[in-house]
Amino acid sequence: MVVDKGDVFVISAPSGAGKTTIINKFMETHKNDFMLSVSVTTRPARTGEKHGTHYYFFSKEKFLEYIKKGKFIEYAKIINEYYGTLKETVKSSTASGRNLIMDIDVQGAKKIKKQIKKCVTVFMMPPSFEELTDRLTKRKTDSPEAVKKRLALAKKEMKQSGKYDFVIVNRDIDETVGLLEAILKLTKFKKYKV
Ligand code: 5GP
């Protein structure tokens, strides 16, 4: 991949927009150059999620202790649960010579943009709000009440998409992965402009 090592790419999307599928597909062919940031969360693990692979699952007490100790480069409270990126994670990706992909929310993206200059932010939109509603309802990982909250949050987040460097619409897996690759190439191109 023609990007510099040690860059940070932030990808945000409303829950249910298909971000995890896209990132996993992207990582299939780019794992030599990219490392996926594993966040810490206080939310319970969903079926199939593993500690250390999908998230580090912490108790609220432990999370708050880590905040106090200044261990997070950013963290946010999203629908009553905490999510955060450890400074250590960013350090280890730089040390491994790979680029880091961060799957974080709008609040986190803003904080990372302020702290890491070599950072490109991408917002992934669902094809439509109706489709997002449909996906969240069918996935059955959240209660109807939680789905309602996620949809309200999605609306708020989508309104802030203009603050990102790039906005893409996830209509088709291969197309979206292609768009992501194009953005990474463009970014490299941008850096060489004088
Ligand atoms: P989920 O509970 O569906 O896994 O994630 C909910 C939201 O938390 C998603 O928008 C995801 O991008 C965001 N998120 C995951 N990890 C982090 C993190 O470390 N920091 C921030 N700010 N948001 C995160």
Enumerate residues 6+ apart whose C-beta is below 8 A from 143. none
Q: In whole angstroms, give the CA distance from residue 175 to residue 183.
A: 12
pTM, two decimals, is: 0.90
Q: For residue 54, which of 67, 45, 62 has the smallest C-alpha distance?
A: 45
Q: How far is the CA of 54 from the centre of ligand 1 (A)?
A: 11
Q: How far is the CA of 49 from the centre of ligand 1 (A)?
A: 14
Instruction: Please tell me the residue having the least CA distance from ligand 1 atom 15.
Output: 104
Which domains, ranges and CATH numbers included, belong to the chain? 8-188 (3.40.50.300)
Please give the average per-residue pLDDT across 43-47, as a whole number.
Answer: 92
Is the minimum distance from the CB of 38 to ligand 1 under 6 angstroms?
no
Tell me the residue ranges of DSSP E strands in the chain: 8-12, 34-36, 39-41, 55-57, 72-78, 81-86, 99-103, 119-125, 166-169
Instruction: Please tell me the residue having the least CA distance from ligand 1 atom 24.
Output: 104
Locate the ligand 1 atom nearest the alpha carbon of residue 12 and give its number: 12
pLDDT in tens, 52-83: 999 999 999 999 999 999 999 999 999 899 99
Q: How far is the CA of 105 from the centre of ligand 1 (A)?
A: 5
Between the alpha carbon of residue 68 and those of residues 61, 75, 87, the distances in Å are 11, 12, 13
Confidence of residue 184 (pLDDT cuts 50, 70, 90): confident
Nearest-10 Cα torsion for 109, 110, 115, 120: 50
Cβ–Cβ < 8 Å for 12, 110? no
Locate the ligand 1 atom nearest the alpha carbon of residue 55 and give its number: 16
Is the minimum distance from the CB of 43 to ligand 1 under 6 angstroms?
yes
Cβ–Cβ < 8 Å for 105, 76? yes
Average pLDDT over the chain, rounded to an integer: 90
Locate the ligand 1 atom nearest the alpha carbon of residue 85 and give its number: 19
pLDDT of amino acid 122: 96
Q: How far is the CA of 4 from the centre of ligand 1 (A)?
A: 25
Helix, strand, or coil (residue 163): helix
Instruction: Please tell me the residue having the least CA distance from ligand 1 atom 2.
Output: 43
Confidence of residue 193 (pLDDT cuts 50, 70, 90): very low
